[in-house]
Amino acid sequence: MPGPYHTPGVYIEEIPSGSRPIQGVSTSIAAFLGVTVYCREDRIGRPLLVTSWDQYTEYFGGYPKEGFLPLPTSVRGFFENGGGVCYVASLMALNNQASPRPGPAVRPTLQLASRGAGGAPSLELESKVGDPVTVTVADASEPGDDLFKVVIRAGDQEETFDNVTLKGGRDGRNVVQVMSTSCLVTVREVRNNAPLPERRPAVGTQTIPAPIAPVAAPACGIVELAQGNLDDRVGLDGLQAIPEITMVCMPDIMYLQKEGKITMKDAIGLQSALIAHCEQMKDRIAILDAPYGLKVQQVKEWRTTEANFSSKFAALYYPWITIQNPSGKGGQISVPPSGYVAGIYARVDSERGVHKAPANEVVRLAIDLELNVTDREQAQLNPVGVNCIRSFPGRGIRVWGARTLDDPNGEWRYINVRRLFNYIEESIYEGTQWVVFEPNDMDLWERVKRTVSAFLTGLWRAGMLFGATPEEAFYVRCDAALNPPSARDRGELTVEVGIAPVKPAEFVIFRFKQLPGGGEISE
């Protein structure tokens, strides 16, 4: 509360506005699970953030020298089709190929905390040797608040770097320049904005562990590894700890079934696990692949009889796409489309918005299809939620479907409607955390209504909601009828939001009429 005031004068007070704007969450972060060429033993099953193809190859080794793996091809397709950020969990690693190039994903590192700046990182050291490396930071021999000494030991080797500093150009004493001669470690500075004396590393001794050698693939199968567990942050359950994920793909499923590594029953079980995960989280969608080699009638029967999925949090794509063999050996190969489709989701989100159906979009890198579906054939698949990928003369290969696996007559049958609601719900959830423990009165109700209404108005102006006015596009209700005394006594606050989403023009109909002579239409 302001005051009390005792001395005459002018006083400045800052008064909060009473509401806080809601920021839209990201909608284009994918998660991939499957088999990789390489993975450190301690990272098997753990989702790792990957922001480029080069980073993927550092962590997981790229393409195999012999044979084919769908996961690296799918991740590459994700980035090439517009994806920017994904998480990758290696459920199994071949490790019988050459290790990936040296990098932070292979060699162990150690970050030295600064003595000030809240203990923020000061230096990062990376081992060059196969033994554990001991790093000791001590005060310098010469006086100087920014000077220090680093002693590196590994086996019988010892290196001492005295009177070094983080300051550049000081008589050749910069620690990164001086330690570039080390045979045991490489070093880089982790910059922050703290004053120089506070940035220098804290005194103490720490150890960089020995590198972890590649290990053989786990003895158990991918079916057992896929589910994982939340406690160890591995597998599907481990993805629960990453709320920003909005798409989940496992392109290995139908490839392993095609190769006879798992049964169709196992494949359906794995896809069901993906769907169950998305149903549980309610903020992401599973992108599924149809089996390889099925004709149109066969894939319809598989979808409706054998698999028989029903979910508003999943979408299915058919057929497989054909790409140039990425191993560099020439020729063409058929690959599951899910990773490429995930990239298209991200591309549409970036270029148009999450309200736009991720369809009528070119599949980059695709040069052919396993099967060219006709209009009559798609008429059998579209009603049961099988999204076709088709080739059109002069227009390329495009995704030509936008259905979920929900009831074809249900309100969640369109992918963009489901993803739009995911976006709105998650944005409001994260943007209204300030409401928790606030006094539950009419003032709070109005503040919440203003905050949510302002966010939805912005979406309406961006064309994400249907209606000529905001009142036609949405409503936000928070009043005494929704929040009676009994609910307030339980500590509950209920807000009701109604939204009119835009839906795709899936069937475009032109009506033509022959006019009588003179070109006039009689009423």
Residue 126 has pLDDT above 50, yes or no: yes
Q: What are phi and psi of 152, to 5 degrees?
A: -115, 130
Residue 112 has pLDDT above 70, yes or no: yes
pLDDT tens across 363-414, in order?
A: 999 999 999 999 999 999 999 999 999 999 999 999 999 999 999 888 999 9
pLDDT tens across 247-283, in order?
A: 999 999 999 999 998 999 999 999 999 999 999 999 9
pTM score of the predicted model: 0.73
Task: Report residue 169 CA to chain centroid gap.
Answer: 42
The whole-number pLDDT of residue 99 equals: 38
For the segment 334-343, the average pLDDT, to the nearest whole number, is 97
Residue bearing the bigger pLDDT, 59 or 9: 59
Share above pLDDT 90 across residues of the chain, in percent, rounded to a whole number:
64
Which of 82-91, 160-169, 503-512 tops mean pLDDT?
82-91
Among 58-67, 302-311, 446-455, which stretch is predicted with the lowest mean pLDDT? 58-67
Residue 18 has pLDDT above 90, yes or no: no
For residues 110 and 145, give the distance between their C-alpha atoms in angstroms, rounded to a whole number: 24
CB contact at 8 A, 38 and 69: no
Residue bearing the bigger pLDDT, 149 or 96: 149
DSSP bridge pairs for 125: 110, 187
Burial of residue 375 (CB within 10 Å: 0-12, 13-18, 19+) is exposed
CB contact at 8 A, 431 and 22: yes
pLDDT tens across 462-478, in order?
A: 999 999 999 999 999 99
Residue 505 has pLDDT above 80, yes or no: yes
Burial 68-87 (b: 16+ CB within 10 A, else e): bbbbbbbbbbbbbbbbbbbb
pLDDT tens across 167-188, in order?
A: 876 567 888 888 888 888 989 8
Q: What is the mean pLDDT of the chain?
A: 89
The whole-number pLDDT of residue 521 equals: 52
The whole-number pLDDT of residue 197 equals: 83
For the segment 329-333, the average pLDDT, to the nearest whole number, is 81
Residue 100 has pLDDT above 50, yes or no: no
Q: Which two tokens stand for residue 376?
A: 């009559």
Which of 81-95, 110-124, 346-360 tops mean pLDDT?
346-360
Among 170-184, 228-242, 306-320, which stretch is predicted with the lowest mean pLDDT? 170-184
The whole-number pLDDT of residue 353 equals: 96
| Count of beta carbons in the 10 Å neighbourhood of residue 214 | 20
The whole-number pLDDT of residue 220 equals: 40
Residue bearing the bigger pLDDT, 301 or 154: 301
Burial 268-301 (b: 16+ CB within 10 A, else e): bebbbbbbbbbeebebbbbbbbbbbebebeebbe
Among 66-70, 329-333, 346-350, 358-362, which stretch is predicted with the lowest mean pLDDT? 329-333
What is the signed CA dihedral for 186, 191, 194, 195, rounded to 10 degrees?
Answer: 60
For residues 244 and 138, give the distance between their C-alpha atoms in angstroms, rounded to a whole number: 42
Which of 3-12, 36-45, 177-186, 373-382 tops mean pLDDT?
373-382
DSSP per residue over 305-367, as a string? III---BTTEEEEES-EEEE-TTSS-SEEEE-SHHHHHHHHHHHHHHT-TTS-S-SEE-TT--
CB contact at 8 A, 111 and 207: no
Residue 83 has pLDDT above 90, yes or no: yes
The whole-number pLDDT of residue 97 equals: 39
- Residue 461 has, within 13 A of its CA and on its CB side, a CA count of 6
Instruction: Indicate the pLDDT class of residue 122, thresholds 50, 70 and 90.
Output: confident
Instruction: Indicate the pLDDT class of residue 118, thresholds 50, 70 and 90.
Output: confident
CB contact at 8 A, 298 and 304: no
Residue bearing the bigger pLDDT, 310 or 193: 310
The whole-number pLDDT of residue 102 equals: 36
CB contact at 8 A, 300 and 381: yes
